[in-house]
A and B are shown apart, each in its own frame.
Chain A
Amino acid sequence: MFEYITVFDPSRSHGEDDIHQQLLLYHSFTGSENSLNDKLGQIGVIQGLWSLTNSLSGEDGNQGSQEKVVQLHGKVLLIIRVESRFFICLSMNKDDNSIHHQFYLAHLWHCYRFFTLWHNKFASIPDARRLTNLLNEHFVPFWCDLQVKPDAIIKKGIVGLWHQSHKMAELEFAHCDQSWESLINQDVLLESESYLGIKDILVYHLPNFEQSPGYKTYGLVRNFSSDIDFVTNISNWIYHSHALYGNLSSHVLASNTHYKETPADNTTTATASSNIRTQARTVVPALTTTGETILHNLTLPISLAYDAVQEVGATTGISNSISLFMDYLPKWNPSAITSVLGGNPREQGPAAGPPQGYLISPLCGNGLPENYKQRVVKSQAGTINEKDYNCIFWYYRDVLVCVVSEPNFNKIQDHQYLEDLSYKLSCSMEKFYATAFPKEKHGQQQPQPQPQLPPPPPTIQSRKKFDSFGFALRDKRTNECRCSIPSWPLNNESRSYHYGTFLDSMPQDKLWELQHELVQFLQSLQNSRREKDSATEERLTRLSNGLVCFIRDCPEEMALVVANWFDETSHGGPTLISGLGPSAIRWWNQRSPPG
């Protein structure tokens, strides 16, 4: 599918002799060995294309569009320019690929943005060799993973197209004396020990795609500070990792997990720590089903060990054997780590209470790399205000909490403090579940006495139907988006009338078809030639297959609402949105204005 990815900086070369210095990264996915000349030829043509199209479009060097899509008959080249001089180009084949190239273009941006989040802007890394190494570590696995598991793109759906914004979760909390938010505010953020030390707390509700009560509950529930600039990037990174690996384990959050496409004669394994035991058991079928792709962990020395097995096997003629393989596994007790690192919540025993714990924190074992202790994110990378923040991650059932602290806040290293923090967070999260899903039994046991809950608002009780429409909204000013259109079917058991839509039970191929349709609508809207800064465009499209879609694009927001017009019988109102039925009109009129 992918052919190659390349990153280059033409300003690094000053003449014919040092032209190769432009090339920062060139990775071929097909395994074909291109000569340096070929590579230079390719990047030369890309530059030629870039300047030709810019000149003919009447755009100056640094102005104009920063992305281009070049379509050949069987291929697409996606090119973006970042920091006004670095070009990133992905070449891919079009063959039997049902994913629109716009998704890949958006992911090219995602990939770059994640790089700036964890490393820095390209321009801030002057040493070309170091930059090349970092690019190799970051870009190549990112695209290899997508090559192996394009589902990650499908799971995110059209939200993945909006790389400038992050998805917000929409949960309605029943009213109570002390909300989970005020608990966090009082006990953590404003508390004397951590005041000003903890910069922000980002709370995500990330149920598994299949087991979510509704796609609109997926995403960032809220954060508390308004002046951190990396919320969008870190949120999208978390969503991406979640969609890709299905489970946010410590290894995933430490950026240490990657898929590896297993060639026919080679199988390798390793997965998140808590699964090591189960994984070891599944190795046997994995070894027999060749060509299967399985989770590959780069940090753990397993793959190294396995390579050694392979090599020994190859030289001595001993065939791959699981006992030999297991001998090379590092010896530790996986369950001991589980208690620290968390792991798969569903594997916890029924009596264990709601699964919770740190995923990334200084509490982890000393032998693990720095990324397991805390993640360092760049804020305002590339500017004079550039600053690093430390992030630790903690989870409670389906909630992921990211605690962002100032770099000089040493308290965060203190084990006692971390345990207290964990307790405070779990109190808050208990409240969170109690108020967001009031009818649900949350957790199996309630060790804490529950405060008396007021009866849930009547709206929640009276809802016995799923939403008859799905929506996707992108606020262009706050970079937040909301979406209830799933691209992955939900299990019937987990759906909640309160958060679900009529789309949730559709089969996956239908949902993906819908997403594809929406991409086409959005693209068609992109071609609109109205004065985009001042004029609003609304469209109401009805197709004979039953889809009715309302799109509104104005300087403040982009709104997209879909429904099935076979189901809607009454069409009151003269406006375009009223074509989606009464419940959509009600929702549209009640929703808070953008901004």
Chain B
Amino acid sequence: MDLDESYVDDRRERANEPLYIPPIAAEPTTSINLAQTLFQPSEFDESLEDQLAQSISSCDRRHPLVSTEIPNVFPHRYDKNFLILTSAGKPIYAMKDGDGTIAYMGVIHTIMNYFKLKEDQDLRCIENGDVRFAFLDREPIVLVAYSARGETSNELFSQLDFLHSYLLSSLSERQLSKIFSKRQNFDLRNFLESTDFENLDEICSLLCERLYPDALLGALRSLSMKKSHRAQLHEAMSQQLTKEKDLPRGTLLYGLIVAPENKLCSVLRPKGHTLHTTDLHLLFCLIFHRFQNLDDSQELWVPICFPKFNANGFLYGYIKFLPKCNSILVLISAQKDAFFNLKSFADHLIKDISSNGLLEEIHKAKGFKISDIPAPLVHHFIYKSKKHVQYVMPELELHSDTEPEQLIELERKFMTYYQQIHNSVVRDDGLAFNKSCLNFIRWDSDAIEPSEEPIAMLGLGWITPKFELYLICNNGVDDKHVIFESAKRIISWCRKHESRLFVNEGAIF
């Protein structure tokens, strides 16, 4: 199948395309030969063609509705909370501080210490029916999560690790241990600033309420843009580095351009070094939540600790909003006094890329829609390329009048679906059931209201050594062949457009 290089292509044309990919087209997508051996595509019968035609024609509507079409199988009464305390039992933070949650921290502290002292063992987790508790002891900080949302222990631990990493990024491990070595019962709340608490709130809300698969997948979302534009951008960054004679070698460690919604646009990095995904998650969170009110005339110089890079020291970040495109340029240096060097680097780089019209291109890169991909009956999907440690997903297409509450509701619904699909292919320790694993998952239920359609949702989770695909179908789809064909098309589409969907190597110096 010949896919157009521009994926924002004419939809009518696509209706004439062959209705399924011959198996050979999907071959390169999997390392094992699942595609051929699993389901031999049956002949498409007429009713199916009707369905397909319908789904394609629905894309032609002026305002394609992705938003509220799928029902929610998961009742939203399940609770979740994060608690952070010091090893001496002093409270630091609670995501939800109702009913004297803080008071329970003492009990938690006692119990954890009991096991530590008496049994010489750390408490890891407790399964209590539907609620799962996870305890992460990172002396001198203790983090606790409990959730009734069906996460695996591994998922809760990685979320706790994320919160812990935030604390380290703000304080650094050295500073923390220094404080607590002097006084074990130090009250860290007095030391943290109000912005720290706001950021913790923000991270918790990202983890619990938003469509934020980054933490679940351990990957970054990338900005899709034309291959040539991305190459030009990287070229410009590299050239700037060689041109900049005043910049002593080693001053600049990393350079990043980040688009809104935490999408990675391009990277400038030394050969053989990459930043850890968690560090980048933290950086992106900080940028977009702490500095969202900046305008493009302002610039920032902030110390930040990248806990996975070096938990004991600080790096310094030069942060500047790029004019006209809401994106941000981040330059990272190990030197405290490199501000002016980096500033001049940034000024020149911005001048360079805006003269090329690349800023416009970044601004124009709007991602893709589900209707851009010839994958019938698929509502939404997430595709993660393991090689790039990045993922892509179609933009949520919303009504213009969507209320913020509705948006949150919607994001949470999507996130729950993805989390459930993801958990259906991984064990409790976070590893996939097998090297490759394909799982269909189907939820059936009567309609909540008699007037509504009955619920028949189909999802698919597919993990192979090369990619991970999570996919949600439209309500009422019940043929696994169609979905599997669509899944193969998505994979083939993503691989074909790999260079525009993902940031590959970046600019390397």
Which A residues contact B (CB, under 8 angstroms)? 38, 41-42, 45, 48-49, 52-59, 64-65, 67-75, 517, 520-521, 523-525, 527-531, 534-545, 547, 554, 565-566, 570-572, 574-576, 578-579
Contacts and interface: CB of A to CB of B under 8 A. Distances in A.
B427 interface: yes
A57 B118 contact: no
A392 B446 CA distance: 48
A382 B441 CA distance: 42
Interface string B123-148: 11111111101000000000000101
A539 B440 contact: yes
A585 to B, nearest CB: 13
B433 A520 contact: yes
Given A527-B152, A535-B444, A542-B437, 4 more contacts: A38-B118, A53-B146, A73-B124, A529-B150
A538 B40 CA distance: 21
Interface stretch (B102-110, B350-358, B499-507): B102-110
Given A71-B126, A531-B75, A541-B439, A574 B445 contact: no
A75 B437 CA distance: 30
Nearest to A571: B39
Contacts, number: 183
Contacts of B129: 57, 59, 64-65, 67
B444 A575 contact: no
A111 B130 CA distance: 24
B420 A576 contact: no
Given A56-B146, A58-B79, A73-B121, A565 B38 contact: yes
Say which size band chain B's interface belongs to: 35 or more
A53 B146 CA distance: 9
A465 B128 CA distance: 45
| Main SS at interface, chain B | mixed
29 contacts: A45-B115, A52-B111, A53-B128, A53-B133, A56-B146, A57-B146, A59-B129, A70-B125, A72-B119, A73-B124, A75-B119, A520-B433, A524-B426, A529-B78, A530-B73, A531-B74, A534-B446, A535-B445, A536-B445, A539-B442, A541-B438, A541-B440, A542-B38, A542-B439, A570-B40, A571-B40, A576-B442, A578-B480, A579-B480
A65 B423 CA distance: 22
A91 B129 CA distance: 19
B74 A545 contact: no
A542 B438 contact: yes
A361 to B, nearest CB: 44
Contact of A48 (B75, B107, B131, B148): B107
Contact of B128 (A48, A57, A529, A540): A57
A58 B80 CA distance: 11
Contacts of A572: 42
Contacts of B42: 572
Contacts of B97: none
A541 B433 contact: yes
Interface of B: 32, 34, 37-40, 42, 73-75, 78-79, 81, 101, 104, 107-108, 110-111, 114-115, 118-119, 121-131, 133, 146, 148-153, 416, 420, 423-428, 433-446, 455, 478-482
B437 A541 contact: yes
A38 B436 CA distance: 48
B421 to A, nearest CB: 10
Given A65-B128, A70-B126, A541 B424 contact: yes
Contacts of A547: 434
B108 A52 contact: yes
A571 B38 contact: yes
Contacts of B426: 524
> Majority SS of interface residues in chain A?
mixed
Contacts of B124: 71-73
Contact of A574 (B32, B122, B146, B479): B479
Given A48-B110, A57-B129, A524-B423, A530 B78 contact: no
Contact of B114 (A41, A57, A574): A41
A537 B119 CA distance: 40
A530 B417 CA distance: 10
A544 B128 contact: no
B437 A72 contact: no
Nearest to A541: B439
Contacts of A523: 428
Contact of B34 (A45, A520, A529, A542): A542
Given A41-B114, A69-B127, A544-B32, A56 B104 contact: yes
A32 to B, nearest CB: 12
B150 A565 contact: no
Contact of A576 (B131, B423, B435, B480): B480
A73 B137 CA distance: 12
B425 A45 contact: no
Contacts of A54: 128
Contacts of A544: 32, 34, 434-437
Contacts of A578: 480
A50 B55 CA distance: 51
B508 to A, nearest CB: 34
Contacts of B40: 570-571
A374 to B, nearest CB: 40
Contacts of A42: 118
Contacts of A67: 129
Contacts of A58: 79
Contacts of B37: 565-566
A527 B444 contact: no
Given A55-B104, A527-B150, A574-B480, A543 B128 contact: no
A421 B427 CA distance: 53
